[in-house]
Amino acid sequence: MSALVPPFTFETATQKVRMAEDGWNSRNPERVSLVYTPDSSWRNRAEFINGRAEIVAFLTRKWAKELDYRLIKELWTFGGSRIAVRFAYEWHDDSGNWFRSYGNENWEFDAAGLMQRRFACINDLPIKESDRKFHWPLGRRPDDHPDLSDLGL
């Protein structure tokens, strides 16, 4: 197996995307922050985040608000040190209102394979609980669970 460092191949880019999905589905801010450079910069919606400490703070706030969070990421394209993904995640707020959030991310990696830049555009769609499509137990999405394309998303 090739190392998960740039320049990416289809195989390594796909693996990188699944590793990112698995990390975010852990909902462990400290664990997730370690795949970013210490000075990583993000744009997440309208928020600008710089460095691992801000990443941890952001993710801690996010997962305190977005309850029962389940995410699927899918490779869109890649080249050199960059990967683009599309994603959807389902969650509910503390009042029991469910949402499916859709988005795209552009990632740029350093030579060691750590993400140094992340740009995310995200839209939230209110859904009924009965319209949920992500039903696996909290944590890693099972390998046999449909991906975004299979779900028509």
Q: Is the pTM of this model over 0.85?
A: yes
pLDDT tens across 85-101, in order? 999 999 999 999 999 99
Does residue 2 register a pLDDT over 80? no
Confidence band of 24 (pLDDT split at 50, 70, 90): very high
Answer for the pair 119, 51: CB distance below 8 angstroms, yes or no: no
**Which CATH fold topology does 10-131 show?**
Nuclear Transport Factor 2; Chain: A, (3.10.450)
Q: What are the residue ranges spanned by the domains of the chain? A: 10-131
pLDDT at 48: 97
The number of residues making up the chain comes to 153
| CA proximity to 67, closest of 129, 19, 22 | 129
